[in-house]
């Protein structure tokens, strides 16, 4: 028996705390994503700006797309895609847990760190991935706050997280750690952090950490600075300079609304519909 869908203006974090105390099961939507609960624990989180589990596994080559779709075909309807991936031998149990937790906390940061209002709660709604590993609500909330502070300590310029990013000419970019170098190679004057994360099949928060470190080192700057933030770079970047170093010319610059997260969201909708 399900209660009617809530309509609330409570902050998502406060409502999550209440739902956890009630041992609730269902899906809580905010403007930025969906948190799935089972028996008061977080079992999955989805955000339009973070790669989902399927993206992380298939784009990295850890799992062939056929294996992913086969698991969704066979187990989506009964909400146990995760178990199907392990039982069919496509993925080790530990690998699934690591990737799932990585995606869960990544999405949770973007859904919960800037605590917006909860839009609605659908009691009883389950995610088609099924139970992989559940996390207490408190842990997820605390970690999201900690991540926000971590980014702030690295470089207190939030524009890096949302605006298209360009390389700053001048500073020597050699000798970067491999991960930071791969991230820098994707900066082309057009892509945003979320698009760079998608291109690398990396978690978005982990990409933000690298990008903020690159910004702190004066190697990367937002293309259209929203405010005149602190500039440690000796040579300021021209505000609307096209890509300075880029393997491919890339598409023409678009307005701020990124399109790749939208395709990610649509793909996720498709998965969800097919799993019904």
Residues that bind other proteins (CB under 8 A): 56-57, 60-62, 86, 92-99, 101-102, 105, 133, 143, 146-147, 150, 174-182, 184-185, 200-203, 205-206, 209
Quote the least distance from Cβ 192 to other proteins, whole Å.
18
Quote the least distance from Cβ 178 to other proteins, whole Å.
5
Return d(Cα 83, Cα 89) in angstroms, integer: 10
The residue (of 9 and 175) whose beta carbon lies closer to other proteins is 175
What is the helix (H) or strand (E) element at residue 180, kind and residue range?
helix 178-185
Quote the least distance from Cβ 261 to other proteins, whole Å.
17
The residue (of 212 and 271) whose beta carbon lies closer to other proteins is 212
Return d(Cα 88, Cα 90) in angstroms, integer: 6
The residue (of 6 and 95) whose beta carbon lies closer to other proteins is 95
The residue (of 29 and 192) whose beta carbon lies closer to other proteins is 192
Token pair listed for 272? 């969800």
The residue (of 155 and 205) whose beta carbon lies closer to other proteins is 205
Return d(Cα 115, Cα 124) in angstroms, integer: 23
Quote the least distance from Cβ 140 to other proteins, whole Å.
10
Token pair listed for 32? 């930025």
Quote the least distance from Cβ 18 to other proteins, whole Å.
24
Return d(Cα 266, Cα 199) in angstroms, integer: 17
Q: What are phi and psi of 131, to 5 degrees?
A: -70, 120
Tell me the CA distances in angstroms from 134 to 92, 140, 206, one per residue in order: 18, 10, 21
The residue (of 147 and 271) whose beta carbon lies closer to other proteins is 147
**Among 134, 131, 126, 132, residue whose Cα is nearest residue 275:** 126
Quote the least distance from Cβ 4 to other proteins, whole Å.
36
Please say whether the beta carbons of 48 and 262 come within 8 A: yes
């Amino acid at each position: 028996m399900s209660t009617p869908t809530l309509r609330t203006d409570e902050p998502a974090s406060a409502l999550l705390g209440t739902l956890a105390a009630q041992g609730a099961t269902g899906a809580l939507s905010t403007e930025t994503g969906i948190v799935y609960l089972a028996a008061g624990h977080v079992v999955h989180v989805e955000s339009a700006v973070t790669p989902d589990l399927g993206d992380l596994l298939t784009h990295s080559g850890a799992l062939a797309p056929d294996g992913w779709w086969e698991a969704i075909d066979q187990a989506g309807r009964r909400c146990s895609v995760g178990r199907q991936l392990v039982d069919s031998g496509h993925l080790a149990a530990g690998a699934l847990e690591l990737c799932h937790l990585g995606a869960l906390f990544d999405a949770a940061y973007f859904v919960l760190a800037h605590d917006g209002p909860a839009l609605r709660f659908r009691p009883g709604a389950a995610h088609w991935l099924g139970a992989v590993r559940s996390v207490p609500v408190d842990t997820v909330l605390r970690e999201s706050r900690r991540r926000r502070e971590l980014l702030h300590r690295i470089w207190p310029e939030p524009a890096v997280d949302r605006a298209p990013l360009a390389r700053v000419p001048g500073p020597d970019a050699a000798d970067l750690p491999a991960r930071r170098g791969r991230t820098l190679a994707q900066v082309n004057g057009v892509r945003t952090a979320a698009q760079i994360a998608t291109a690398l099949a990396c978690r978005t928060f982990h990409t933000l950490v690298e990008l903020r470190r690159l910004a702190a080192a004066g190697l990367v700057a937002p293309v259209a600075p929203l405010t005149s933030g602190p500039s440690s770079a000796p040579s300021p970047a021209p505000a609307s300079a096209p890509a300075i170093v880029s393997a491919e010319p890339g598409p023409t610059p678009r307005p701020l609304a990124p399109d790749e997260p939208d395709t990610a969201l649509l793909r996720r909708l498709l998965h969800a519909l097919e799993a019904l």
